[in-house]
A = this chain, B = another copy of it.
Amino acid sequence: MATTSAKTPAAKTSAAKTPATKTPPDASRRSERSRRAILRASMELVGEVGYNKLTIEAIASRAGVGKQTIYRWWPSKAAVLLDAFTQTTDEAQEEYAQGLPDTGDLAADLRQVLHATVDEFTDPAFEAPYRALAIAGAADAELAAQFYERLSEPGQQVYERRLRSAQEAGQIDPDLDLAFAVEFLLSPFQQRWLTRYGELSYEFADRLVDMALRAFAPRG
């Protein structure tokens, strides 16, 4: 949950591999307009009422479509929301289409992407629905597994690739377990966001990068 994954192309790739839609929406302009209206309505509503009170009926009503239109394309409200997340964030964040920035300066690259993530997680339009999803996932192990596959794991892999590049350049410990390293780097961000126990700021992101890179350094 709550990684920067939603911002990455990997989430899109994963969505293409494991579509939540029962059948691909009709390619006509009208279908596409309905589909976008449904995704937008699901994001707005989950932020307003929370995941538990979100209904397909309410999404349909807000989107101006019939319930059956939604059921034809998605098996559940969770499936709608996951598509909504991967879609809207893909659209907004084309700059990471090739993965994280790789200027050769790992610290600068991580700070850049984490600053963008701070912006995202302090934007109520993103934050409120994402929080609703995160809470629903914490309460429901099956839903959590779907989030992991569709959002978290693809996002982690984007970070892993950037760390692998640094590893190959000899900038971090060659024996570092990269999946664990990413978990270690991102968890304080995710946890602080979810618990609200501290401010999500650029300064916090910078300290996180500094601390993580000290841990990742080649052993002396």
Contact = CB atoms under 8 A, between A and B. Distances in A.
Interface stretch (A9-17, A83-91, A111-119, A134-142): A134-142
A184 B188 contact: yes
B141 A196 contact: yes
Interface stretch (A22-30, A157-165, A207-215): A207-215
A195 interface: yes
Nearest to A194: B138
User: What number of copies of this chain does the assembly contain?
Assistant: 2
B144 A138 contact: no
Interface residues of A, number: 38
Interface string A76-104: 00000000000000000000000000000
A194 B197 contact: no
A46 to B, nearest CB: 12
Closest 8 CB pairs of A and B: A215-B215, A187-B188, A187-B191, A187-B187, A214-B215, A211-B215, A1-B195, A191-B191
